[in-house]
Structure 1
Amino acid sequence: MLTHREFSAWIVSNNQPLPEYLVAVDEKAGRVSCWIPSEAGKQFSVHWRDHGSNVHTCSFISLDGFVVPGRFLYGTGNASREGVRSGPTSERPFIFAEYHGASSSRECNRNTGTIMLKIKRVSLDGHKRANPFQTIPDAGSRATVSGHCVGYGDERPTYEQCPSTWQIKPYDKASKGSYVTFVFRYRPQDFLLSQGIMSEDDRTAESAVPQRKARPSQRRVTSAPVATTHATGTLITPSPTPSPNTKKMQSVVRFSFA
Structure 2
Amino acid sequence: MRHRDCEILITCDGKALDEYNVEAEDNVIECYVASESGQTFEIKCSNHSSAFLVMRTAVDGRPFPRPKSTNAGDTNVTLRCEHGVDKSERLMFERLCITDDDAAAKVLSHGDHLGLIEVCVARAIRKEDRPWKASSITARNIGPIHETAKKGGMHCVSFGDTQPYPIRKTIVDVTYIDKWTAPYITFKFRYRPHAILQAQGIVEAIQPPRSGPSGSSSRARDTPSPAPPQAASSVSRRERQDDASQSEPPRKRLRRDGTSSSSESGSRMEDLLRADDTEDAKPLRTKGEDDDGAESLNALEAQMEALRQKIDRARAQNGQGSQFRVVKREPSPILVGHFNGGIIDLTED
TM-score, length-scaled by structure 2: 0.51
Contact 1:9-1:47 at 8 Å conserved across structures: yes
Cα gap change, 1:202 to 1:49, in 2 (>3 Å): farther
Q: Counterparts of 1:92 and 1:145 in 2: how far apart (Å)?
A: 26
Structure number having the greater strand percentage: 1
Partner of 1:246: none
Q: Counterparts of 2:84 and 2:105 in 1: how far apart (Å)?
A: 34
Contact 2:96-2:144 at 8 Å conserved across structures: no
Cα gap change, 1:146 to 1:110, in 2 (>3 Å): same
The question of 1:81 aligning with 2:60 is answered: no
Cα gap change, 1:170 to 1:136, in 2 (>3 Å): closer
Partner of 1:34: 31
The question of 1:185 aligning with 2:226 is answered: no
Cα gap change, 1:201 to 1:101, in 2 (>3 Å): closer
Q: Secondary structure at the residue paired with 2:88?
A: strand
Q: Which moved more, 1:66-75 or 1:194-203?
A: 194-203
What is the identity, as a one-letter code, of the residue corresponding to 2:43?
A: V
Partner of 1:119: 121
Residue among 165, 168, 172 paired with 1:166: 172
Q: Counterparts of 1:163 and 1:203 in 2: how far apart (Å)?
A: 55
CA RMSD of aligned residues (A): 2.6
Cα gap change, 1:170 to 1:92, in 2 (>3 Å): closer
Partner of 1:95: 92
Cα gap change, 1:21 to 1:50, in 2 (>3 Å): same
Contact 2:129-2:170 at 8 Å conserved across structures: yes
**Greater RCO (CA < 8 Å, at least 6 residues apart):** 1
What is the identity, as a one-letter code, of the residue corresponding to 2:170?
A: S
TM-score, length-scaled by structure 1: 0.68
Q: Counterparts of 1:75 and 1:203 in 2: how far apart (Å)?
A: 46
> What 5-or-longer segments of structure 1 have no aligned partner?
205-258
Partner of 2:160: 153
Q: Which moved more, 1:11-20 or 1:105-114?
A: 105-114
Q: Counterparts of 2:143 and 2:89 in 1: how far apart (Å)?
A: 16
The question of 1:137 aligning with 2:136 is answered: no
> What 5-or-longer segments of structure 2 have no aligned partner?
210-349
Partner of 1:62: 58
Identical residues among aligned pairs (%): 22
Cα gap change, 1:70 to 1:45, in 2 (>3 Å): farther
Shift of 1:203: 11
